[in-house]
Amino acid sequence: NWIKYETFCHDNKWNAAFAVGLIHAYCINDKSGVLSKQFDAMAKVRQDIRYKAIDSSGIGASFDNSNNGGGALFVKEQQVSLWKQGHEMFNSIFPLNQVSYEEYLTFLGTYNINNIDSSLFLIQSHLNHNCDPNVRVVFGDKKTDGIKVYAKREIRANEELTTSYVNPSHSLNQRLRELRVNWGFICNCTKCK
């Protein structure tokens, strides 16, 4: 069943589904429960909710999708079918640890909003967005090098650490559009106001 799922993910170029399959397997096998707690601690949103944000923006496709928003309804129908098929195959792999369809969509959404270049970093996932961030995140040359977070300016005691999910030098409209489509929120930071 894993090979069928892996092939399905590969054929559909669906990295998130493959990743959540691996994450679920690792969490099941982690007797300490640490991996489950770490994944559960990440920002969460169901994939269908993310998709509604895309659809309601009038764009019809993710920000960096190359189809220029054409055929949103057809794409949406394809997405729902793909999610349902993926969920069914996912549960066939884990007969003793099945998840509901809503949980599967939450797994997908959680991975999608927290991954950077197909990797998850616990520190990065806990940094909220600000268009004028107080930290910068530096990635190693290789994924296994991890990340480091550096202060960009003096940070007061109890001040939230923030990074920018988008290029802060982009125009206000472009930043707002990217944030709405890819992360599902409208920024209200001082720079955007």
Q: Fill in the amino acid letter for 148.
A: K
C-beta separation of 9 from 104 below 8 A: no
pLDDT of amino acid 122? 87
- Residue 116 pLDDT: 85
pLDDT in tens, the chain (193 residues): 999 999 999 999 999 999 999 999 999 999 999 999 999 999 888 898 877 766 555 544 444 343 333 334 446 677 899 999 999 999 999 999 999 999 999 999 999 989 888 889 888 888 999 999 999 998 888 878 888 999 999 999 999 999 999 999 999 999 998 888 788 788 999 999 9
Amino acid letter, residue 73: L
Distance CA(48)–CA(76), nearest Å, equals: 10
- Cα three-residue angle 86-39-76, rounded to 5 degrees: 35
Please check whether residue 50 is in contact with residue 112, taking contact to mean a CB–CB distance below 8 angstroms.
yes
Whether this prediction's pTM lies above 0.85 is answered by no
Identify whether the C-beta of residue 72 lies closer than 8 Å to the C-beta of residue 56: no
- pLDDT, tens digit (0-9, with 9 covering 90-100), for 46-56: 898 877 766 55
Q: Which residue in 94, 96, 89, 91 sits closest to 5, CA to CA?
A: 89
Residues 6+ apart with CB under 8 A from 76: 51, 55
